Amino acid sequence: MPELSPARVRLALLALALGGFGIGCTEFVAMGLLPNLARDLLPDVYAASPATANGQAGALIAAYAMGVVVGAPTIAAFSARFARKKLLLVLLAVVTVATIASATLPSFGLVFAARFVAALPHGAYFGVASLVAASLLGPGKRGQGVAFVIGGLTIANVVGVPAITWLGQETGWRMAYVAVAAVFALTFLSVAAVVPAQPGNPGATVGHELKAFRRPQVWFALGIGSVGFSGLFAVYTYISPIATDVTGLPLAVVPIVLVVFGLGMTVGNFAGGWFVDRGVKRALLVAFGGTIVALAVLLFTVSTAAGLFACCFLLGAAIGGGSIAIQVRLLDVAGDSQTIAAAVNHSALNIGNTLGAALGGAVVAAGLGYVAPVGVGLALSVVGVLLAIVSFTVEARQRRRIPAAAPARSRELVSDPA
């Protein structure tokens, strides 16, 4: 690849980060527009019971999460050898078309399918874009490359999601998805124009990448992320009706609640990087412990604006720091299968999204009210921390057994002339 000017490198990095911005918008904007989606796509259910309709509409958020879970490892395993720029363009084309479909299809079932398809490129985009960004920045700057691309998602939660949520409230949820599709279309053009061509890894094979799943600690890490984050998503999925029906805030304030969450996520990203550099296990426990504290406080203060805003900030910080910790933990325990390890981090996050949205929606649809998801989220977060403790304990015991077995094996070799 020919040497690029500093200006060209900056433009390429901004193009890649714009894709992260779009993904952040498309993933989280439905949470602020959930009542709008329920009222339009489930009109009969909404007329009988808005709470039931909101609970059922949470399946649209779960559909996106399921798409990430399926797409991230599958595309990562099968596409590692493909040229990176061309792969990015294909992924962006798919998500653009699927987001347009989300904005225009008439029925709940068809929009559900469109959200699933739109999510398939999510994990692969972040993985490939991070590799490209690291290459553009040069040796020893892989972390900065990853941070730059993920930074687009963080900014989306501070600026993009609240702005598009406001747009959806004012002009209809379909226009919100049209705006998201426009972001992806702009990203496609930007990547095509300024990102240099890069080869893939011609030696990569599906079997080599899938070896990661033979390692028990990979499954532990996925479980910690999935269950731990499900506690957060059980609440965040229903943040709009919680803010309006429980806290008593006007609908116009919901975008401000989302801004506070995004600010917490930004702080969590920076703090998470600092904590992870000083011990990934401690960082995991701090992140998920913070989720437990935030949800426990929210359970008793959700009727107050101060409690809601403070806890949303803490929850955003928890997901920001926790996602970095899970990413590094997966890379630590995945051996040589680093590509798929980077991708399945997004699967873990979105398994949590699916599980949290489903369980939170179940208690809402059952008529238990919008405070019930907070209790569900608290219980799930506790399970996530317990799973982390089990994982670390098992790993420590395995490490103690290996040194103990080594001397015995050495004596065996000495006594055996063969």
Share of the chain above pLDDT 90, in %: 27
Q: Where are the domains of the chain?
A: 6-400
pTM higher than 0.85 for the full model?
A: no
The angle subtended at Cα 345 by Cα 341 and Cα 351, nearest 5°, is 130
Q: How far apart are CA 215 and CA 209, in angstroms?
A: 12
Average pLDDT, stretch 14-40? 88
Burial 156-182, CB ≥16 within 10 A → b, else e: bbbebbbbbbbbbbeeebbebbbbbbe
> Given this model, what pLDDT does residue 31 score?
77
Q: How far apart are CA 234 and CA 377, in angstroms?
A: 5
pLDDT digits (tens, 9 = 90+) for 87-109: 999 999 999 999 999 999 999 99
Smallest CA-to-CA distance from 81 within 195, 192, 197, 199 is with 199
**Element holding 415 (H helix, E strand):** helix 372-415
Among the ranges given (56-70, 206-220, 361-375), the one the predictor scored with the smallest mean pLDDT: 206-220
Average pLDDT, stretch 369-376? 90
pLDDT digits (tens, 9 = 90+) for 266-291: 888 777 767 777 778 888 888 888 89
> Given this model, what pLDDT does residue 40 score?
92
Question: Would you say the C-alpha torsion 300, 239, 379, 291 has a positive or negative sign?
Answer: negative
pLDDT digits (tens, 9 = 90+) for 233-245: 888 888 888 999 8
Alpha helices (runs of H) in 80-172, residue ranges in sequence order: 84-104, 108-119, 122-137, 142-155, 161-171
> Given this model, what pLDDT does residue 10 score?
85
Contacts of 274 (CB under 8 A, 6+ apart): none
| CB 164 within 8 Å of CB 29 | yes
> Given this model, what pLDDT does residue 324 score?
76
Crossing angle for the helix pair 6-32 and 173-194, nearest 10 degrees? Answer: 160
Q: How far apart are CA 273 and CA 324, in angstroms?
A: 7
Among 224-228, 271-275, 301-305, the range with the most confident prediction by mean pLDDT is 301-305
Q: Which residue has the tokens 């598009």?
A: 164
Average pLDDT, stretch 8-19? 89
Q: Tell me the pLDDT band of 1, cut-offs 50, 70 and 90.
A: low
Among 42-51, 192-201, 331-340, 401-410, the range with the most confident prediction by mean pLDDT is 42-51
The one-letter amino acid at 234: A
Please say if the pLDDT value at position 413 is more than 50.
no
Share of the chain above pLDDT 70, in %: 90
Average pLDDT, stretch 333-349? 74
More confident residue, 93 or 353: 93
Q: What DSSP letter does each residue of 134-153 carry, written as one string? A: HHHH-TT-HHHHHHHHHHHH
Q: How far apart are CA 286 and CA 123, in angstroms?
A: 25
Instruction: For domain 6-400, give the CATH number.
Output: 1.20.1250.20
Please say if the pLDDT value at position 18 is more than 60.
yes
Across the chain, which distance is largest between two alpha carbons, in Å?
Answer: 84
Mean pLDDT of the chain: 83
Q: How far apart are CA 115 and CA 184, in angstroms?
A: 14
The one-letter amino acid at 294: A
Average pLDDT, stretch 177-205? 87
> Given this model, what pLDDT does residue 415 score?
42
Q: Tell me the pLDDT band of 403, cut-offs 50, 70 and 90.
A: low
Cβ-based neighbour number of residue 207 at 10 Å? 8
| Secondary structure of residue 246 in the 3-state scheme | helix
Please say if the pLDDT value at position 246 is more than 80.
yes
Cβ-based neighbour number of residue 43 at 10 Å? 12
> Given this model, what pLDDT does residue 145 score?
63
Q: Which residue has the tokens 């325990």?
A: 333
Q: Tell me the pLDDT band of 118, cut-offs 50, 70 and 90.
A: very high
> Given this model, what pLDDT does residue 266 score?
82
Please say if the pLDDT value at position 418 is more than 90.
no
pLDDT digits (tens, 9 = 90+) for 138-168: 765 555 666 677 778 878 878 888 889 889 9
Q: How far apart are CA 178 and CA 243, in angstroms?
A: 25
Q: Which residue has the tokens 């429980």?
A: 246
Please say if the pLDDT value at position 319 is more than 80.
yes
Please say if the pLDDT value at position 411 is more than 60.
no
**Sequence-ordered strand ranges (E) for 273-337:** none
* Length reported for the chain: 418
Average pLDDT, stretch 84-88? 89
More confident residue, 219 or 413: 219
